[in-house]
Structure 1
Amino acid sequence: MASSKTKLMLTVDTKAQKVLFAEAGKDFIDFLIYLLSLPIATAVRILNEKNLNPVVGSLSHIYESLEKLPDSFLQPNQDKNSLLNPRAPVYATEIPLMLSDYDLKARKLYKCAACCDYIADVPNLNCDGCKGKVRLVMSYVPPSPANYSLGTVEGGFLKELATYIVMDNLEFMPMSTKMFVSLLRKSVFKDLDSIEEIEVDLGVEEVC
């Protein structure tokens, strides 16, 4: 199970009171990549739950409007819960600071009961092939390390090969001598005496 905390080593300019960059392991970079897979509705719901409504602006009003809308206004092939809580199309295990409260291992797909040639995310749709109902429940098999047969596979998205540098704008890159030279040329380190390293624990509250 993914940890609820991850560590960052911050390089701080104490004189300017500014974080210059962070040193991070694969777990934090996995989390940043995971953010890209979150549907907008999921992100809006999470920020609303954290009382960060101004951050999402008008998107929160769209979410709340749909939440209040009676089901009778929806098309018969639409499900309000799936619209308000869409599932990310990307799956990976052991992502730290997971923001979604659903489990993709419990994801269901529905197969045509007659010709078995078509599947859908929503039950009881008409099959495009035979016009029968797509209603046979199928379980989703996520691409997790446990069911991957080609050798040892780690969780997350990235291999455990490198430490990464994360800039204050969340740009990240593998740590290397060339990267440090580039930072020096950009004059990131203006006063070495004011530079300090601080280790911090990052949790869901800090992320949101």
Structure 2
Amino acid sequence: MRRQTITRDQVFEAADQIVDMGLNPTQNAIIRRVGGSFTTVGRYMEEWRRERRAANENPATVAPDQLLGAAKTFAEEIWGKALDLATARLSEDQRRLKAEQAVIDEDRVDMLNQVQDLEEVAATQEARITTLEQTIREAISETSVLQDKLARANERAGVAEARLADANRRIDELLESVVIANQRNAELLDALLPFRHRKPVGTNRRSHSK
């Protein structure tokens, strides 16, 4: 990341402000205020120190003690107000962080409860899946048994059908035999019918002799 380009006036102004607050204008302090690199800030700070030493060595530009005291007092007041403001902001930030932490803790508890509920639901679903798998295995086993029974029943039904066909064939043969026998009986009866009406030989002779 490239550092922000700063100017000579920015460095001078920042250094003067830090001095007015009663602090030492180090390069780190300048960089924290206006940015820049150590090389650029260091070069401008050397120039700022030369000009400041020259101003301090010139009697016409030396500030009176009263003015310096007032400036120091003003700087101390500014610094005190800055500290008070920083303390107030810190307290506000701490209060806000505590509130946010409370919300985070509450959300964390809710998330833990939801996770626990989900784990219970998952356990219940897993138990149901296990039961269903067992039921499916039993159903498959029963289906296999039923298929075996059905195959044997079909086999027995096939044998029964074959036997029934044989029995029907035998019945047909017997019926045909009965028909033939009936025809033969009818033929024999027809053949014997003339003999039933014929009188026996010798019957008339006995009657005449008497």
TM-score scaled to structure 2, two decimals?
A: 0.18
Higher relative contact order (CA 8 A, sep 6+): 1
Give the number of the structure whose alpha-carbon radius of gyration is greater.
2
TM-score scaled to structure 1, two decimals?
A: 0.18
Greater helix content: 2
